[in-house]
Amino acid sequence: MILEYAVSVAEKKLEQKTRMTKIPISVIVLLILPLSFFILLIYFLIFLSESDNMIPDEHSDS
């Protein structure tokens, strides 16, 4: 019951904010999702490159 009330209050506040800014939530989500995906992709690529750099060091004969 308390959770449902909190969600409804949050939705009302979000509606008020979107009316003020005139930007629908779907547009915000569509902007955030590609950005977060891009950030995760970069992080994953950096992680892969770091692990690739470690592998030859372990197997290299010095």
pLDDT in tens, 35-47: 999 999 999 998 8
Q: What is the pLDDT of residue 37?
A: 92
What is the distance between the alpha carbons of residues 30 and 37, in angstroms, rounded to a whole number? Answer: 11
**Is the pLDDT at 29 greater than 60, yes or no?**
yes
Contact 50, 44 (CB under 8 A): no
The yes-or-no verdict on residue 52 having pLDDT over 80 is: no
For residue 24, the model assigns a pLDDT of 77
Whole-model pTM: value is 0.38
Q: Please provide the average confidence, as pLDDT, over all residues in the chain.
A: 78
